[in-house]
Chain A
């Protein structure tokens, strides 16, 4: 589907703004959910039900003094937060929001998602290094080690999906989940590859530096880690990037494993209401379906953060290298063997 360039630019602009606003909604959501978990009301002063709280926070961050440490490296110190936000936003361009509604539709978009999450580590590492603070440096070191070790397991679990669907294109991956033999929601990749789904979710936590994998910023040990020396809007951008990151991660989880924009029982719905096919309403419903699923995973991200203690560095490495990686590897080999035999013996047509 080829859209004119200006149309793509418009959609891109809309999506970037959507993610910017969604970050503030997520901040509010997170604070409310943590309030429920901790038996307290959460923000309830600014605006109705405290809904304007994140905007007040942003206004505060904009007006705060921008400090950079004397011995820091100013250019890199400013570059790091920009890098974080840009990469988080760029990943959003790859996600199909509804049938035919995606900004960048390439043959290798699943690979691009992995590549972009790998670049995100530069933001953290450079921030930690350029601040010239020991705590930040430790945070940056931890994060590079963590992201590299979890990328492998993540890549392998994506590979399982690619084996099943036979395509690296995210649109194809979503459409395959509605393909032949899929009944209702059972076509979702999470039912075809449950272990890969679990591994992907866990590694998504690690890649986005969310608790219990928030070692790079462990506020108790490292006093904020890589963003200790940031203030004002530069800190705000890290903050923004964190929320955009885990929201985008929720979208990627949904796209790869939970049917993406597909409605549950979409085929049944379409045969019952043939007028819906190719209509705008279907597109809206699909966007809503994707948003709801992503909001659920955003909830899971928040829920886990406010319940579990943080891992220790060694535990993190043990989990990554000694448990997730072998399991993911074995999983991929199993699926590969299965599909090879399937092709050789001609099972299932």
Chain B
């Protein structure tokens, strides 16, 4: 028998992930074929001497401009970024695996923590996927409420992008203006859902609770005030000489490149491809409202800036239409096997109480073998959930197709050949949220 208090020494290769990871990363940086090989080899005819002025620099994961825990290992030639390797995964929490041990409803709050800038849209995306999987009807009022929430999330996300992007470029005031604006959205979310940040308002088969009159008043007030405020920001920035010089012609992605790199959302629309799930595969009530997809053909980070600024105004227009069209009615599917029952039913009717119990312990059970892919247009681009059911209340497998992960694929391409000062603008223009990309 072995002694109970001594542990066998772990095998050497058991805990060596980190050094091996580092090794692989630097090897990849060295072996990378970037544009500069051509330049050094053929173009200007000068002999390339690595010892002369090259420097390998680790930017992040703890760095103020990396929007969280993105790590970029760059090879600098003076101020020029010659090669770049992106390393993600510092915020990996195994969200997809966690989903396999939760009921569909229990997993919903985890989607808040993915893109914590726009949690409402992620709640809606998850619920739409489950509803598609289990064929659950959603009442009309709930769909309008979800649309309002999703568009507010888009505004919140784009405002953060603008504020942080400008702060990275050195204009700190805009950051604070953006956060004051987001504070108004937080107040609305607080009134809608009872939570400011991680809202968890959507439920499978509907939403948690109805919009209060106060919430409607706050949203109306927001919709009335904000077009002017956003136009004020545009007035400050769009023709600002320094801001234009830092963005025009920086990080150019042609339409082909954008598709090849798998860019999504505003990053794709800035390159001239008018792809938006809201328009091409309408979900919720997007088919019933009138809106346009702002698209630019330049493909530089200034084009992406213009797209996002216009999208904010479009979102406000969508919310305004939702407020006109929304009618009183139920906010959740009334079938107790498909959606959580109301408190009234759970407390005062026997059937309701049983259904509440079953829903909480078992949850929604889609048919065995059912699988589906449902995508929405999250603020940062296409967000998809691929779900497989084994007939129980927990997903057999869940896979999440997140926009930030796809967008980060393009960042290496954008960074190579850029200046050190462009780095912050480029990270800002791709607009990654690491909770979203690392899952």
Contact = CB atoms under 8 A, between A and B. Distances in A.
Interface of A: 34, 37-40, 134-135, 138, 142, 211-212, 214-215, 218-221, 223, 306-315
Given A211-B170, A309-B170, A310-B421, 9 more contacts: A34-B172, A134-B55, A142-B79, A220-B169, A308-B170, A309-B169, A309-B242, A310-B169, A312-B245
Contacts of B180: 39
Contacts, number: 80
Contacts of B242: 212, 308-311, 315
A293 B180 CA distance: 34
22 contacts: A34-B173, A40-B176, A134-B55, A211-B170, A212-B170, A215-B421, A218-B170, A220-B64, A220-B424, A221-B168, A221-B421, A223-B64, A306-B173, A307-B171, A307-B173, A308-B240, A309-B171, A309-B246, A310-B169, A312-B246, A313-B419, A314-B421
Contacts of B243: 309
In order of increasing CB-CB distance, the 3 nearest A-B pairs are A310-B170, A38-B176, A309-B169
Given A212-B242, A307-B171, A313-B79, A39 B65 contact: no
Interface in B157-212: 166-173, 176-177, 180
A134 B167 CA distance: 22
Contacts of A218: 170, 421
A211 to B, nearest CB: 6
A313 B420 CA distance: 8
B135 interface: no
A38 B166 contact: no
Nearest to B237: A309
B176 A39 contact: yes
Given A134-B57, A223-B63, A312-B422, A38 B173 contact: yes
A221 B423 contact: yes
Nearest to B174: A309
Nearest to A39: B180
B170 A214 contact: yes
Interface string B332-365: 0000000000000000000000000000000000
A135 B62 CA distance: 13
Contacts of A311: 242, 245-246
Interface string B416-439: 000111111000000000000000
Contacts of A223: 63-64
Contacts of A221: 65, 168, 420-421, 423-424
B171 A315 contact: no
B143 to A, nearest CB: 36
A140 to B, nearest CB: 13
Interface of B: 55, 57, 63-65, 76, 79, 166-173, 176-177, 180, 240, 242-243, 245-246, 419-424
B169 to A, nearest CB: 4
B424 A315 contact: no
B173 A315 contact: no
Contacts of A310: 169-171, 242, 421
Contacts of B57: 134-135
Contacts of A212: 170, 242
A37 B169 contact: no
Contact of A138 (B64, B166, B168, B420): B420
Contacts of A313: 79, 419-421
Among the interface residues A39, A214, A218, A220, which one has the most CB atoms of the partner chain B within 10 A?
A220
Contacts of B171: 306-310
A306 B172 contact: yes
B363 to A, nearest CB: 45
A37 B171 CA distance: 12
Contacts of A309: 166, 169-171, 240, 242-243, 246
Nearest to B250: A312
Given A308-B242, A309-B246, A37 B173 contact: yes
A268 B64 CA distance: 56
Contacts of A142: 79
A324 B180 CA distance: 38
A214 B421 CA distance: 12
A200 to B, nearest CB: 20
A221 B64 CA distance: 8
A218 B419 CA distance: 14
A150 to B, nearest CB: 16
B170 A220 contact: yes
A96 to B, nearest CB: 35
Contacts of B63: 223
A221 B79 CA distance: 11
A215 B242 CA distance: 13
Given A39-B180, A134-B57, A312-B246, A220 B167 contact: yes
Contacts of B246: 309, 311-312, 315
A314 B418 CA distance: 11
Nearest to A314: B419
Contacts of A312: 245-246, 419, 421-422
Nearest to A316: B421
Contacts of A215: 421
A107 B243 CA distance: 44
A220 B168 contact: yes
Contacts of A37: 173
A39 B170 contact: no
A219 B177 contact: no
Nearest to A135: B57
A212 B169 CA distance: 10
